[in-house]
Amino acid sequence: MVSTEESAPARGVRGRLLDLMFVRGRVEDVRPAPGRMRWIRVGGVQGLAWTPGQQVRVHVADITSAGTWVSGAVRNALRTYSVWEYDASAGVMELCVMDHEAGGPGARWAGDLRPGQEIVFGRPEGTFGLRPASYHLFAGEETASVPFGAMLRVTPPGEPVHGVIEVSRSEDRLPLPRGEELMWRYRGDAPAANSATLVDAVRGLDLPPEPGFAYVAGEARTVQAVRAHLVRERGWDRRSVLVKPFWTPRKRGME
């Protein structure tokens, strides 16, 4: 049995290590979001440099614990989540996390969270964010709704917005800023992977004759198909289509 004298310095070393390499916050609230999503509000995280559209890598297991390494759980210790909103003045970050049916490490972590618990994550990262453009095109499904919400919140009112958001049913819609300017497409029980529904909906959009800038996120095969439509059928420059593949069936390590 480890004595108090031995364990206290160990906790101090762990804390200094976490503060040096990662960000620590505390869960303030966990509540249901539309569909299979969950809001997670984290406080005590002042001073983050965050651009809407960026993500954080959350520790869903304690990587400083020897048990995590011995058990092999370290392979699944990190999960990447887009930030819904960050209030720098209050030091509060809001995540919106999907409860995956497979019940993996991320879903178990989110399901077990309670107010007061510590959360450890990396600093915001990624290049998925708004670009200067005459208009903005958004296309994606549920997982894309989170970064899209953050990006739409800061899109200048004078810059037109177009796009398609695909969800299973109307009750799965997140409260996106400027959501009334987007087309919502419902796929019912059809899979989100390799979704022809989303591609067809983008194909049917009445867009200005000149390309704007497109943000396409979600399942890997679907986002590639949307980009192929914009580039090959509409003549957009590939550099005007920013793609973010978050997931695809039976493949780990995507963001």
Spell out the residues 6+ positions from residue 88 whose beta carbon is closer than 8 angstroms to its own.
46, 47, 48, 50
Domains of the chain are 4-121 (2.40.30.10), 136-247 (3.40.50.80)
- Predicted pLDDT of residue 78: 87
Q: What is the pLDDT along the chain (255 residues), one digit of tens a residue?
A: 333 333 344 456 666 666 677 899 999 999 999 988 999 999 999 999 999 999 999 998 776 664 554 444 556 788 999 999 999 999 999 999 987 665 678 888 998 999 999 999 999 999 999 999 999 999 999 999 999 999 999 999 999 999 999 999 999 999 999 999 999 999 999 988 888 899 999 999 999 999 999 999 999 999 999 999 999 999 999 999 999 999 887 665 455
**Taking the model in full, what pTM does it have?**
0.87
